Amino acid sequence: MTTESIRVLIVEDHNVVREGLVALLRVASGLVVVGEAADGVEAIAQFRRCQPDITLIDLRLPRLSGVDVIERIRMETPQARFIVLTTYDGDEDIYRALKAGARAYLLKGMTSEDLISTIHAVHAGKSHIPPAIAERLAERMGAQDLTPREFDVLEHIVGGNSNKEIATALGVSEATVKTHINSLLGKLGVTDRTQAATAAIQRGIVPLESLKRLK
């Protein structure tokens, strides 16, 4: 290892994928893998211990999400540089990751050349967003954010709950629920509950795993 080597931390909960990334980067010129983590809590501990130049991180992690990891680490180390590496391309996922401070976003179908060149680019202070993802991000940036209550209502819609069930769960009237639904339909650019649920899932606004707490 030379002093010019870029120090990389890999955060990925799937062992086979993580091991493949480690093997790939260990033979790449100018890169050195200094740590690995399989969940969000471990990622923060490994970052503090290894102090990497670049962190490759998945968004969907056990115990703590990739976005939460990025936010917490950047509160301690504002100059920390992250590359999101994921199978998810919902525009909400992209928006949250980049808003948290990620410098690049790559889908796991990218080539090894794309990955290595992106690591070098981000280390040099550049950002890298593939054109297709940039287009989706631009669309998301022009959309209005849901209020916390609208998000709660949308979660219940995705969970298949009726207006009455939502009202009972949230402790509000059905009329209030209808008002929130009309507002979130407009913000999502859809016309009914079914379209809202579909958009919420496809765009990553409501991750399916978050619905478990509604069961």
| pLDDT one-digit tens code per residue, 150-206 | 888 988 998 888 999 999 999 999 999 999 999 888 888 888 888 888 878 777 677
User: Which of left, alpha, beta for 86 (phi over 0: left; psi -120 to 50: alpha)?
Assistant: beta
Indicate the Cα dihedral angle 189, 190, 196, 198, nearest 10°: -100
Helix axes 193-202, 148-158, angle to 10 degrees: 100
Are the CB atoms for 19 and 37 separated by under 8 Å? no
The tokens for 98 are 């980049």
Percent of the chain at pLDDT above 70? 85
Question: How many other C-beta atoms are found inside a 10 Å radius of the C-beta of residue 26?
Answer: 11
User: Which of left, alpha, beta for 189 (phi over 0: left; psi -120 to 50: alpha)?
Assistant: left
| pLDDT one-digit tens code per residue, 20-69 | 999 999 888 899 999 999 999 999 999 999 999 999 999 888 888 888 99
Question: How many other C-beta atoms are found inside a 10 Å radius of the C-beta of residue 113?
Answer: 9
What domains sit in the chain, N to C, each tagged with a CATH number? 6-141 (3.40.50.2300), 148-214 (1.10.10.10)
